Amino acid sequence: MKGLLIKDFKLMKGQKNFFLAILAIALAMITLSPGTSFAIGFLGFVGSLFSLSSISYDEFDNGNAFLFSLPITRKEYVLEKYTFGVLCGIASLFLGTLISFFSILITDKGNLREMFLTTCTLLPVILLLLSIMLPFVLKFGGEKGRIAILGMMGFLFVAGILLTKIAEYMKIDFYPLTKRLSQIDPRVYILFFLFLAITALAVSCLVSQSILNKKEF
């Protein structure tokens, strides 16, 4: 698995111009709107997507057929993609946090506590996104996988609107519940969602292994 990680990091190194462009966008966001934590999420999400790009690179010109002729098991391949995605996501999240931290110190705008809470909240979100996206891309391939992900996101968006409308029609009041939940310590939420995200990632990894075992190259 170490060799696969080295390969993917070298591929990422070849995309340094793209990464520098993303970093420039994040710095522009901070400059135009100091004190905000938007750059943290932006860099974190973009960084986690590098694992999807690496799968597309592996598929290019029937590269998987050659890759699996090497002493690499399909289980190792899946574990490496998840490890690579998590490492890139966390590193990008840390970089975004660092940029926001210095921005707050220099401009004296924003709140350090809120910034760190944002970072801690975004970590399980990134893990959940990886747990959803990676099985789709491994199942359908790079291009079709992205279309499938967009379709699923669209379905969830429409389902969310429908559920809201149904709740309004049935006159269900969520205000007492939200008020009670708002009184809970944010750290409890973060730890709970982090546990859910790690569990989802573990289940997703098993699903991805099953998908790859059934594929022929």
**What is the predicted pLDDT for the residue at 116?**
83
**pLDDT score of 136 more than 80:** yes
Which distant-in-sequence residues (6+ apart) come within 8 Å of 209 by Cβ?
74, 75, 78
- Of 101, 84, 104, 116, nearest to 35 by C-alpha is 104
Pull the structure tokens for residue 22.
């993303």
Which distant-in-sequence residues (6+ apart) come within 8 Å of 83 by Cβ?
1, 5
Band of residue 205 on the pLDDT scale cut at 50, 70, 90: very high
Residue with the larger pLDDT of the pair 100 and 66: 100
H or E stretch covering 45: helix 38-48
Kindly report each contact of residues 176-184 with a partner whose C-beta sits within 8 Å and lies 24 or more positions away, as own/partner. Answer: none
**pLDDT score of 186 more than 80:** no
66-99 tens-digit pLDDT: 776 778 788 888 898 899 989 988 888 888 888 8
**What is the predicted pLDDT for the residue at 201?**
92
Q: Which residue has the tokens 């998987």?
A: 64
CA–CA distance, 113 with 189 (Å, rounded to integer): 16
